[in-house]
Structure 1
Amino acid sequence: MSKKPLILVTNDDGITAPGIRTLIKVMKELGNVVVVAPDSPQSAMGHAITINSTLHLERVHIDSGDQPEYSCSGTPADCVKLAVNEILDRRPDLCVSGINHGSNSSINVIYSGTMSAALEAGIEGIPAIGFSLLDYNYNADFEASESFVKQIAKNVLKNGMPKDVVLNVNIPNLKKSMIKGIKICRQARANWEEEFDKRKTPQGKDYYWLTGKFVNLDHGEDTDEWALTNSYVSVVPVQFDLTAHHCIQQLNTWNFDD
């Protein structure tokens, strides 16, 4: 009789966030779950790791579940590193990160703590998925996400993933009956037009709040932004090789001898 899959669950919103509690519940239907997640919110940490201070792990019990859970003082990427090297007795069959409270579509994947955990797992050779719901509310309703999360995770467990590729999954903030299905997409070309709200403390020192608006520059109908706008779950395969391969031939025409 084959063993159940071992599934590592993590996130960037913190181990008590409703999104990860939903993800744990769904993953327990598919395999044996171990949770290693930050002890506090780590959103927009990108692929930061802790090197200038100590890391702490604490075995915790959050709800009525019997899955092993560990609260980590570090970043999402730290959580995966510690899980693989210090906690798990074998390599997990799947790592899932999320469900994030808010979008990680398009350029947001660069900043995302949720996706950094999935990418770290991918670097370790573990099939991985980052899940996000397009609702930033802490008390967001994740019920409509559950069946899509389960369906996508089951496919990865069954089919595996191409080498050095992980999945970035974003789910529209809609009732399940209003979601049209799942679309395999490319990342939309978009950016943030940023501003800083400059203020002063009572002592007269300047301080800043980062603000701005998201601008989609891509009108293609094969992008994650198009899919989400049109009520589909978007699935984007993401790689961590950042080489611009298409530029190598052009750069080789440059003269570096002058």
Structure 2
Amino acid sequence: MVKKKPLILVTNDDGITAPGIRHLIKIMKTLGEVVVVAPDSPQSGMGHAITINDNLYCDPVKVKESENHKEYSCSGTPADCVKIAKQEILKRKPDLCVSGINHGSNSSINVIYSGTMSAAVEAGTEGIPAIGFSLLDYSLTADFEPSTKFIKIITQNVLANGLPKGVVLNVNIPKLTEKQMKGIKVCRQAKAHWVEKFDKRTNPQGRDYYWLTGEFVNEDKGEDTDEWALENGYVSVVPVQFDLTAHHFIQDLNTWNFHD
């Protein structure tokens, strides 16, 4: 009996034509049957937004016959792409959802703003093992080739071992050559934040507008964090859970007086 290839859903937040997703598709086609459902335009920083006040479109994209996979371009957010893929496009539940490869970091605090990771989290809520991949290079001419070996290793492990219910993987890859990368390091999310500023400007019509800027501040000196791993030449892998309950605070919270 011929073993059925795993069905892999590929999505992202940089848009279906972004170089990162094109490279991820190429890698995933060596591992399984690929269906792509991705935004028709960049959706970076959208987090877990979904479309509820507008029409949602999802159109087939013509690919070369030799490509042997299907693609759909969606007018919505990364989370929308996963939802519509599962409910309307795929004939069966995918064995894996991969999101990326993002142009830029999604390590540490960036994970909560990330459309890339929100697509992975959305898949996770549907019981689909999921991985978000990001390369620490924002350039549209970024070289994704050095990430290939590491993406394959991580993906093969997830396909072989699965992931616990409620957990997805956040993978960040340093901007290095393959030889410069020291390997893969399982980490925790570093405690860090952005010191944000708004650059106030005035347009030609005299109306004020604002441009968000900021500085990333890593408060965490631990050598078991994603930031440490990336700074020291490792691919970071952080298991992320989407249960946001602060379990450690429940006992203390129960001592408060909530009665009149």
- What range is the shorter-chain TM-score in? over 0.9
Q: Deviations over 1:182-235 (max 9, x none)?
A: 000000000000000001112211100000110001000000000000000000
Structure 2 stretches of 5 or more lacking a match?
A: none
- The equivalent of 2:183 in structure 1 is 181
TM-score, structure 2 normalization = 0.98
| 1:15-164 equivalent positions in 2, closer than 5 A | 15-61=16-62, 65-164=67-166
Q: Deviations over 1:91-122 (max 9, x none)?
A: 00000000000000000000000000000000
**Runs of 4 or more consecutive aligned structure 1 residues displaced over 3 Å after TM superposition:** none
Residue identity matched to 1:12: D
Question: In 1, distance between residues paired with 2:148 and 2:39?
Answer: 22
Instruction: Measure how far apart 1:2 and its partner are.
Output: 1.8
- The equivalent of 1:195 in structure 2 is 197
Question: In 2, distance between residues paired with 1:169 and 1:163?
Answer: 18
Alpha carbons 1:16, 1:62 under 8 Å: kept: no
Question: In 1, distance between residues paired with 2:204 and 2:48?
Answer: 35
- The equivalent of 2:211 in structure 1 is 209
Question: In 1, distance between residues paired with 2:63 and 2:202?
Answer: 40
Alpha carbons 2:104, 2:134 under 8 Å: kept: yes
TM-score, structure 1 normalization = 0.99
Alpha carbons 1:95, 1:118 under 8 Å: kept: yes
Say which of 220, 223, 226 aligns to 2:222: 220
Question: In 1, distance between residues paired with 2:32 and 2:194?
Answer: 39
Alpha carbons 2:185, 2:236 under 8 Å: kept: yes
Question: In 2, distance between residues paired with 1:72 and 1:202?
Answer: 34
Give secondary structure in 2 for the equivalent of 1:46.
Answer: coil
Give secondary structure in 2 for the equivalent of 1:107.
Answer: helix
Question: In 1, distance between residues paired with 2:204 and 2:235?
Answer: 46
Residue identity matched to 1:99: I
**CA 1:62–1:102 in structure 2 vs 1: closer, same or farther (change >3 Å)?**
farther
Question: In 1, distance between residues paired with 2:92 and 2:100?
Answer: 22
Instruction: Measure how far apart 1:61 and its partner are.
Output: 2.6
Identity %: 76
Question: In 1, distance between residues paired with 2:232 and 2:42?
Answer: 30
Instruction: Measure how far apart 1:255 and its partner are.
Output: 1.0
Instruction: Measure how far apart 1:257 and its partner are.
Output: 1.7
Residue identity matched to 2:20: G
Alpha carbons 2:63, 2:70 under 8 Å: kept: no
Question: In 1, distance between residues paired with 2:142 and 2:13?
Answer: 16
Alignment: residue pair count: 258
Give secondary structure in 2 for the equivalent of 1:226.
Answer: helix
Give secondary structure in 1 for the equivalent of 2:3.
Answer: coil
- The equivalent of 2:172 in structure 1 is 170
Structure 1 stretches of 5 or more lacking a match?
A: none
